[in-house]
Structure 1
């Protein structure tokens, strides 16, 4: 398929070496040799992992680069995980990564930050077209890397394949609400675009940071209580209360499904697009992922904004954290 760099057996062999006497994820994962549509029809996977190597969206939102490195950091960490009594990764396909080379090249020629929005919109169409194939066969996509801008095309694709009576709700763990103005596309406004276009029914954002959400946005959220609910990461924050509050918020939506967004900016002292010493630990993040999966059984999982540099230690830590959250999602979802 155009716009996708498939994750082939050849690529797998470069990242994973079998070891006698044990079975790891890399020994049993499904690969995509060439044509994604054909592979999906033949393999009929339950889960499809897709990488988006770009930081155009975060840069358009005045963030740091590095999100283009997250998927490559994730792969070796995930492939080396053991398949054992605790985790048996069956029917999981690594589709590959979105081909962003031309868009990145184009973005480097842009003079005004706002002009990056045009390129982000181009990326939207590519991401949506690839995910259409995944949702079409009722597989669950796990999208890793890139900026939070990619939440919008994921939601667009998911919404497209819902039953007409079905509504899309979102649970987002994020220090920022990502409800900025829709003047141009970037990583800070995917949910604004989704609400405006009518594809998003209800939006719950958890573990927000009080000093890093502007007053205009907070007023906008408080003024739309029917569609938006939120809580803050403060001394009263607890996973139990958050899940209960979200469940109550979503409960009056008949025939609903839930998309799960986990912005890696939520993790303290982690290489992300918006660095912060405050936030959740990786273990706390995994616990919250587990609770959301058990309660809501999400139809997709999105892990954006991890932004490791070329530093080897950063890449290893980033990869293992992403792999741990993916492992938790796969193990916790019904």
Structure 2
């Protein structure tokens, strides 16, 4: 099942790393896998806490009628994170950069499909199910080896593989907190980026699910009624914190924590929830980058934080640097919170 994994090696590192005199760069101190090793054994025995992996695909976004572009985020992230400073605040020696899952063949198939034709849309959703298998196996392997995956998407379809892989490795369902403007709890109509949590929940891999910062005008009545019936799903709305101020960011962060902290939990960050960040469904009204960082830091420092998934960013030529920096901040905030 690891046939899709492209291991990040020294020649890849040198492609992205910009060494400067009198500076120590993050990328000079990260860990890489040696050639031809047993991947699982090496990850297990390596003295690191985190494993960084990329899922460069936009198949789930395509299958959900979304705007493509999330497949380039992995490379954008590497260009940024490898070139921040190594100092007393960053911990590159605690990180293994493992590599990415190569979905080029699947992306080629998607390029030939017309999603306005029902049969072809159904085909794209079958391809997403194939992607799921590879994602869940990779996450299973990292968690089983006792490490914390930091996953750079791709679309939020990969939440399903993250949850399933983690639950199988821990042999128990997990909880999740999702920093998102939408529920991604749409019906089981074939896999796509809008129903990863639905499938994970109905298949028993997801126990408690908290949606943080849901936009009230985006939730369908059907989903709202479903959520209200289920004891295992709760949410806070963006409007309650930022518009009507009937609640607060601090209060909802605590509500979210009390709902998920009893079990190992995943942290999902959908970049659609951050204001003016180029993403699958970019929002002109959303949380600031500062709030996204505070959220990541707060949940990252909790003992049961099991993985971090940053998804749905869609860099363009003009804003790739900005998105790379945003994701780098979230990664380093998460690592710093956990390690300190």
For the Cα contact (< 8 Å) 1:58–1:147, is it kept in 2? yes
- 1:41, CA displacement in angstroms? 4.1
The equivalent position to 1:86 in structure 2, one of 74, 85, 89, is 89
Alignment of 1:7-26 (within 5 A): 7-26=8-27
Q: Distance in 2 between matches of 1:19 and 1:319?
A: 20
- 1:135, CA displacement in angstroms? 1.1
Aligned to 1:207: 213
Q: Distance in 1 between matches of 2:49 and 2:299?
A: 19
Aligned to 2:112: 109
Residue segments in structure 2 that go unaligned for 5+ positions in a row: 115-119
Q: Distance in 2 between matches of 1:296 and 1:276?
A: 32
Q: Distance in 2 between matches of 1:130 and 1:297?
A: 20
Aligned residue pairs total 326
Moved more, 168-177 or 41-50: 41-50
- 1:333, CA displacement in angstroms? 1.6
Moved more, 238-247 or 140-149: 238-247
For the Cα contact (< 8 Å) 1:67–1:146, is it kept in 2? yes
The equivalent position to 1:161 in structure 2, one of 165, 169, 172, is 169
1:250 aligns with 2:260: yes
Q: Distance in 2 between matches of 1:317 and 1:113?
A: 33
The equivalent position to 2:335 in structure 1, one of 326, 330, 333, is 330
For the Cα contact (< 8 Å) 1:66–1:308, is it kept in 2? yes
* Cα distance, 1:39–1:18 mapped onto 2, change above 3 Å: farther
- 1:247, CA displacement in angstroms? 3.0
For the Cα contact (< 8 Å) 2:177–2:260, is it kept in 1? no
Large movers: runs of 4+ above 4 Å: none
The CA RMSD over aligned residues, in Å, is: 1.6
* Cα distance, 1:5–1:229 mapped onto 2, change above 3 Å: same
Aligned to 2:117: none
- 1:271, CA displacement in angstroms? 0.7
1:272 aligns with 2:282: no
- 1:106, CA displacement in angstroms? 1.3
For the Cα contact (< 8 Å) 1:8–1:32, is it kept in 2? yes
Secondary structure of 1:333 counterpart: helix
Aligned to 1:150: 158
For the Cα contact (< 8 Å) 1:25–1:80, is it kept in 2? yes
- 1:17, CA displacement in angstroms? 3.0
- Deviations, residues 75-105 of structure 1 (Å, cap 9, x unaligned): 0110111111222322211111111111101
Q: Distance in 1 between matches of 2:302 and 2:32?
A: 30
The equivalent position to 2:149 in structure 1, one of 141, 144, 150, is 141
Alignment of 1:217-228 (within 5 A): 217-224=223-230, 226-228=231-233
1:51 aligns with 2:58: no
- 1:250, CA displacement in angstroms? 3.4
Normalising by structure 2, we get a TM-score of 0.92
Q: Distance in 2 between matches of 1:46 and 1:29?
A: 12
The equivalent position to 1:241 in structure 2, one of 251, 269, 282, is 251
Aligned to 2:319: 314
- Deviations, residues 154-173 of structure 1 (Å, cap 9, x unaligned): 111100111x5x54110110
For the Cα contact (< 8 Å) 1:32–1:96, is it kept in 2? no
- 1:20, CA displacement in angstroms? 2.6
For the Cα contact (< 8 Å) 2:173–2:204, is it kept in 1? no
* Cα distance, 1:294–1:238 mapped onto 2, change above 3 Å: farther
Q: Distance in 2 between matches of 1:314 and 1:109?
A: 28
- 1:282, CA displacement in angstroms? 1.1
